[in-house]
């Protein structure tokens, strides 16, 4: 499956190197991220079979994708958007 992850960027005392690649292995919904004060949440999970052709995707369109709500983004905040693929071996 493909996963779309939204991470709110906040000012930090020590900035990490920009070339470090993030990987989000544990799915966190927007609701859980809010209650856990997590900076990231899964906005969508998309199955390859549902994407036979290239199509636009709007982050923050207020729709639900495979159980993950893609809530509107705040114009007062900065975000990083990650698109990752997840695969399973032997099944």
The reported pTM is: 0.83
Cα 66 from Cα 69, distance rounded (Å): 9
pLDDT digits (tens, 9 = 90+) for 17-52: 555 667 898 899 999 999 999 999 999 999 998 888
Domain borders along the chain are 2-85
Cα 42 from Cα 16, distance rounded (Å): 22
Q: What's the CA dihedral at 18, 25, 75, 20 to 10 degrees?
A: 0
3-state SS assignment for residue 34: helix
């Amino acid at each position: 499956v493909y996963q779309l992850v939204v991470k709110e960027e906040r000012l930090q005392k020590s900035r990490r190197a920009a070339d470090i690649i993030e990987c989000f292995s544990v799915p966190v919904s927007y609701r859980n991220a809010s209650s856990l004060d997590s900076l990231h949440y899964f906005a969508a999970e998309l199955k390859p079979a549902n994407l036979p052709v290239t199509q636009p995707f709007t982050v923050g369109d207020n729709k639900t994708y495979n159980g993950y709500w893609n809530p509107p983004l705040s114009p007062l905040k900065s975000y990083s958007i990650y698109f990752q693929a997840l695969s399973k071996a032997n099944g």
